[in-house]
Structure 1
Amino acid sequence: MSRLIHRWPGLIAGLLLLVLSLSGAALSIFPAVERLSSPQATAAVSVADVAGRIQAAHPELEQIRRAPSGRIIAYWFENGAAQAAMIDPVTGQSIASADPKPVERWLTNLHRSLFLGDGGRIVTAAGAAAMMVLAISGVVLVARRAGGWQLWFSPMRGPLSGRLHVEIARLAVAGLLLSSATALWMTASTFDLLPDEAASPIAQTDASGRTGMTVADMAALRAIPIAELRSLSFPTPDDASDVFTLKTDQGTGYIDQGDGKLLAWTGLTGWQRVSETIYMLHTGQGAATLGLVLGLMALGVPVMAATGFILWLAGWRGRSCIRGNVPASRAETILLVGSESGTTWGFAATLHAVLSRAGQTVHAAPMSAFDPARYGRARRILILAATYGDGDTPASAKGFLERMNALAAAPAIPMAVLGFGDRSFPGYCAYARAVTETAERKGWETLIPFDTVDRQSPQDFARWGRSLGAATGLDLDLVHQPVQPASIDLTLVSRRDYGAKVQAPTVILRFALPQAALWRRLVARAPGNFAAGDLLGILPEGSAVPRFYSLASGRRDGFVEIVVKKHPAGLCSGQLYELRPGDRIRGFVRRNPGFHAGTTRRPLILIGAGTGIGPLAGFVRANTRCRPVYLFFGMRHPDSDFLYREDFANWQAEGRLRLVVPACSRGRNPRYVQDGLRHEATEIVRLVREGARIMVCGGRDMATGVSTALGDILAPMGLTPSLLKAQGRYVEDIY
């Protein structure tokens, strides 16, 4: 519901919001410019001082007004003609025209009414209401995507357009809420829709009946600093019953023109103060800095509008694969999807279509939208859940486990969970398993046992479909064609070969960084701002399933680099190994923020073996700030497969790398990387005490040995790898 509430006001009112936000941002500049360009009177100067100087220069003075910026405007008659000008409070002389600049006047009319009078004011008020709805629903969506209010500022994943949309929203939402709320208040006030709590008319006492006292000598005006003045209206000189009308920040008073005494006074009501505060907050008049801040926030609207449209268009294209999606309240089958890159939605679309052809009413939604109260007619809940990283929650499932744990009792609807992942990774379908285990603890009835799909296997999916069909009495023939991910051409520019002498042919492949237009990066059809540790997906010829390789470079390096070991029966590794400079392959970048080095200055301990050195080398290459980095690298023989050997020597000389500890498993004194750790145990303990982060990349056997060794090394400190993992100080990328 929040997504629908957020989507349609943005699409329908998009152009209007662009006009209002851009004109509002431009108008926010004028209060600051006015403040800087207006002569300012000192704090000790009184209203009597300034009024006396102006009256001396313009005897037929009618009124003096002081703007919140400090600008003073005087109105008078000269030779029977009305005059107005900005005044220097020090001299009382005219220094500039009082009329607003044509551009400011034009922007003000555009922003307030679109040049359409009262009808335009109503339209702009509708735009303000749409902005408020967008801001409130956007706050809810960001919190849901982040996994809760406490994670409001947590890093976001996904294409550049989605991340820009959320990051700008986080910064601008408070200002947009304030601007829209104050705009609605001011519109309501303009059309007299708010209660009128103005002060009662002042009952004036009898005037002295005299005229002629100069304003410079009036004690009532001398008691008021010029900084508190709003306006001073002069009486008709030959009418003894007429009086001065004084308005200040505190209220309104009447002053006798004959003796200068204050005849009556009334302060501002609470309602008037609220109204004036709202006017100040919306216009920036009297708060120029705040106005500029709100103007900057308003500039985020065009960016959010563009990225929001891109997200809507991408979502519309994705949703077009799921036709006939009925509302949750009328569906017999609830299909919940947890996906990181979108591929699981393709399986969901296939399942949705087959169930619909079997006569079922089906509602498909992200797992983050889980709400059992809406499933009034549901007979089953099917959960298709991918796993992100090392067992983490995929993007469209944020908050699902928290909602399920918060239930007083499990839904009285049987469920089934199907996990999607890659069996070569140790965290294979870990998130889907966590969902299953949580459901079992809650006592949720299981429709069929937990099952998995390995590497988007259509065969695994069809097998699960047969089990589901047998349990439901439906004929379910799930024939799925995996959708190819959007990929780009990568041209090889260089290669470095290693490992042939030890029967482990390995190559460092460097590809040219594709030059792509910004719009292609926004829609995730070109590499965005990737970093070492992210993944390069390669689609080998003859397969629809991509293989992933950790990147040894970031976008700032100007190239795309991976390390590949040729496996005897490896389809993708074999094709990559045969590449020569000038050859091309198809690939795409997938973010992997869980395995980034970060920007802290604390020490970094890198541990890897074989091709696991790739992202670790990328971390060292990017360490231009010379953070303390210590590398432990396992290989077979230093003369054959010491990857990046020359680079490490150069990086040490530049200060990017403090220490390299190689561990060679062949030769006279064979040892493994965990042996190198034990040999440097004292140094590791010191680094961990200083807050060091440990990053491990390579095979699972190596990772197991490293974990054991570190457990022994850290035991005297009362620390374990598991405890460091919980603190985010021990991360793995293993295969």
Structure 2
Amino acid sequence: MRLLSLLHRWVGAVVGALLALLGVTGALLVWRDALTFVPHASDRPAQDPVSLGQVVDALAGGEKQVDRVTFAGDGLGVHQAIFADGSGAYLDQTGRVVAQWASSWERPELWLFDLHHRLFLGDFGETVTGIAGLIGLFFVVSGIILWWRMRSRFRPRLWPVKMTPGAIVHHHRDLGVLTAPLLLLSLLTGVMMVLPAVGEFLLSPLGPEQRPRVPTALIAPAPTRDLEKLFVVAATRFPDAEPRRLQWPRSPGKPIVLRLRQSFEWTPNGRTYLYFDPGTLEVIGEADAATAGLHASAREKLYPLHAAKVGGLAWKLAMTASGLALALLGSLAVYGFWRTRWNTRVARQKRLSRALQPQGSSGSVQ
């Protein structure tokens, strides 16, 4: 038990600050749509194929090459267009630009997501956050084990009684066990998303994952007009689904991908896909979430649970509390640990100084 305690404290002193960063950014991202301050953000979404076709036709015929368009939904009433050069724009549902940016640094909701998900380090940062999540899971489990010995002193409080190492330890221990269920869920879902091998292992009892097979398209330039046809076909094949995202081909041989969300799917952008040849706009493949199997169905629930995209206001508040608790636990653990080390060092130096001081040197001269 002593070894577990030492490991818990020393690793926490090093990784706690990173977990605190992930916690506070995650708590903010729960409210990402509400914090996206653009005109018409609160408009009710319309899923009319004609209006969607007009919007994407206008974008495809513009000066910039379009990478993808995410359509207005229940959380955000504007379309988001991302261009191949990294710039982007928000458009109202008539296609009028209401905000634009040359870099994601100009939009707080965009760079905040990149900080939380990748630490501004690309794929390497994604791996780092996944490993940090695994360490966070270790902290929760080991913290519960260590708390059990001191359970009789359980006094839940939002803030330490005073900012001394001892009071911080008591607060850390009790707050950790109080929020353990939420922390376990938020950390586990995050790890399963950014470290696919972990997700596949944990979901393997549900059977193998049936990933959509992306068909190869003809090597032809994407058309700039008549994209309304894509939405008409989607409405015919999946009449109860809403179009959520249109992805342009990123390289020759890749199809246009229309992503849809059916009523039973939790993920805001859905996991139902239609693939179109960019030259002819003919359907060359599809992936129906209804037939994807239990493994894919369970994986589809990870992001909505992690980001509080289901469960309404109550779940948003719960996941916000989880993020803030992680931020408190991580930051105060680092502060308390190194404050204790500093206090110990200062006390040792004082004892050494007194021991080296000559006898009677502090007495008064008679």
CA contact (8 A) 2:20 2:326 kept: yes
**Which of 167, 179, 192 is residue 186 of structure 2 equivalent to?**
179
**Which of 258, 273, 281 is residue 252 of structure 1 equivalent to?**
273
**Which of 328, 340, 349 is residue 300 of structure 1 equivalent to?**
328
2:128 matches 1:100: no
SS at match of 1:35: coil
C-alpha deviation, 1:280, in angstroms: 3.6
The residue type paired with residue 23 of structure 2 is: G
CA–CA separation in structure 1 for the residues paired with 2:281 and 2:124: 46
The change in CA–CA distance for 1:134 and 1:55 in structure 2 (over 3 A counts) is closer
CA–CA separation in structure 1 for the residues paired with 2:8 and 2:340: 12
C-alpha deviation, 1:48, in angstroms: 1.1
2:295 matches 1:271: yes
1:344-389 residue CA offsets vs partner (Å, 9 max, x unmatched): xxxxxxxxxxxxxxxxxxxxxxxxxxxxxxxxxxxxxxxxxxxxxx
The change in CA–CA distance for 1:13 and 1:166 in structure 2 (over 3 A counts) is closer
The residue type paired with residue 18 of structure 1 is: A
CA–CA separation in structure 2 for the residues paired with 1:169 and 1:146: 12
2:223 matches 1:219: no
CA–CA separation in structure 1 for the residues paired with 2:156 and 2:321: 23
2:309 matches 1:309: no
The change in CA–CA distance for 1:283 and 1:4 in structure 2 (over 3 A counts) is farther
The residue type paired with residue 305 of structure 1 is: A
CA contact (8 A) 2:214 2:285 kept: no
The residue aligned with 1:88 is: 92
Aligned 1:556-567 pairs, distance under 5 A: none
CA–CA separation in structure 1 for the residues paired with 2:213 and 2:8: 42
The change in CA–CA distance for 1:53 and 1:110 in structure 2 (over 3 A counts) is closer
2:167 matches 1:167: no
**Which of 135, 146, 164 is residue 130 of structure 1 equivalent to?**
135
CA–CA separation in structure 2 for the residues paired with 1:50 and 1:289: 35
The change in CA–CA distance for 1:227 and 1:55 in structure 2 (over 3 A counts) is same
The residue type paired with residue 143 of structure 2 is: G
CA contact (8 A) 2:27 2:323 kept: yes
The change in CA–CA distance for 1:93 and 1:137 in structure 2 (over 3 A counts) is same
CA–CA separation in structure 1 for the residues paired with 2:233 and 2:142: 53
CA–CA separation in structure 2 for the residues paired with 1:275 and 1:124: 19
C-alpha deviation, 1:248, in angstroms: 1.3
2:49 matches 1:48: yes
* Bigger shift: residues 161-170 or 185-194: 185-194
CA–CA separation in structure 1 for the residues paired with 2:61 and 2:86: 10
Q: Which structure has more helix as a fraction of its residues?
A: 2
SS at match of 2:257: strand
The change in CA–CA distance for 1:52 and 1:300 in structure 2 (over 3 A counts) is same
CA–CA separation in structure 2 for the residues paired with 1:118 and 1:87: 29
Aligned 1:105-124 pairs, distance under 5 A: 108=113, 110-112=115-117, 114=119, 120-124=125-129
The change in CA–CA distance for 1:258 and 1:132 in structure 2 (over 3 A counts) is closer
SS at match of 1:299: helix
CA contact (8 A) 1:52 1:215 kept: yes
CA–CA separation in structure 1 for the residues paired with 2:128 and 2:282: 48
CA–CA separation in structure 2 for the residues paired with 1:267 and 1:276: 13
SS at match of 2:95: coil
The change in CA–CA distance for 1:83 and 1:105 in structure 2 (over 3 A counts) is closer
The residue type paired with residue 131 of structure 1 is: G
1:311-343 residue CA offsets vs partner (Å, 9 max, x unmatched): 9779x99xxxxxxxxxxxxxxxxxxxxxxxxxx
1:665-693 residue CA offsets vs partner (Å, 9 max, x unmatched): xxxxxxxxxxxxxxxxxxxxxxxxxxxxx
SS at match of 1:34: coil
C-alpha deviation, 1:160, in angstroms: 3.5
The residue aligned with 1:672 is: none
1:607-660 residue CA offsets vs partner (Å, 9 max, x unmatched): xxxxxxxxxxxxxxxxxxxxxxxxxxxxxxxxxxxxxxxxxxxxxxxxxxxxxx
The residue aligned with 1:230 is: 244
CA–CA separation in structure 1 for the residues paired with 2:122 and 2:248: 32
CA contact (8 A) 1:9 1:130 kept: no
* Structure 2 gap segments, 5+ residues each: 202-207, 218-222, 263-271, 346-366
The change in CA–CA distance for 1:310 and 1:146 in structure 2 (over 3 A counts) is farther
The residue aligned with 2:265 is: none
CA–CA separation in structure 1 for the residues paired with 2:87 and 2:122: 27
CA–CA separation in structure 2 for the residues paired with 1:4 and 1:291: 32
CA–CA separation in structure 1 for the residues paired with 2:60 and 2:112: 35
The change in CA–CA distance for 1:84 and 1:121 in structure 2 (over 3 A counts) is closer
SS at match of 1:198: coil
CA–CA separation in structure 2 for the residues paired with 1:243 and 1:118: 24
The change in CA–CA distance for 1:31 and 1:120 in structure 2 (over 3 A counts) is closer
CA–CA separation in structure 2 for the residues paired with 1:227 and 1:40: 21
Higher RCO, 1 or 2 (CA under 8 Å, sep at least 6)? 2
Aligned 1:505-584 pairs, distance under 5 A: none
C-alpha deviation, 1:305, in angstroms: 0.5
The change in CA–CA distance for 1:181 and 1:276 in structure 2 (over 3 A counts) is same
The change in CA–CA distance for 1:28 and 1:113 in structure 2 (over 3 A counts) is same
2:70 matches 1:65: yes
The change in CA–CA distance for 1:125 and 1:94 in structure 2 (over 3 A counts) is same
The residue aligned with 1:559 is: none
2:7 matches 1:8: yes
CA contact (8 A) 2:86 2:104 kept: no
1:215-234 residue CA offsets vs partner (Å, 9 max, x unmatched): 17953345679984331246
Number of aligned positions between the proteins: 298
CA–CA separation in structure 2 for the residues paired with 1:300 and 1:49: 49
Aligned 1:463-542 pairs, distance under 5 A: none
C-alpha deviation, 1:276, in angstroms: 3.7
Structure possessing the higher radius of gyration over alpha carbons:
1
CA contact (8 A) 1:172 1:300 kept: no
The change in CA–CA distance for 1:264 and 1:33 in structure 2 (over 3 A counts) is closer
Aligned 1:553-702 pairs, distance under 5 A: none
The residue aligned with 1:24 is: 23
CA–CA separation in structure 1 for the residues paired with 2:255 and 2:212: 19
SS at match of 2:31: helix
C-alpha deviation, 1:266, in angstroms: 2.1
CA contact (8 A) 1:47 1:226 kept: no
1:253-292 residue CA offsets vs partner (Å, 9 max, x unmatched): 2468999986653213343443343234445567755542
> What TM-score do the two structures reach when normalised by structure 2?
0.60
* Structure 1 gap segments, 5+ residues each: 205-209, 236-240, 318-735
CA–CA separation in structure 1 for the residues paired with 2:15 and 2:278: 51
The change in CA–CA distance for 1:262 and 1:9 in structure 2 (over 3 A counts) is same
| Aligned sequence identity (%) | 22
RMSD: 5.0
CA–CA separation in structure 2 for the residues paired with 1:246 and 1:11: 48
The residue aligned with 1:139 is: 144
1:701-726 residue CA offsets vs partner (Å, 9 max, x unmatched): xxxxxxxxxxxxxxxxxxxxxxxxxx
CA contact (8 A) 2:25 2:116 kept: no
- Runs of 4+, deviation exceeding 6 Å: 151-155, 190-195, 223-227, 256-263, 310-314
CA contact (8 A) 2:104 2:110 kept: yes
**Which of 199, 210, 225 is residue 212 of structure 2 equivalent to?**
199
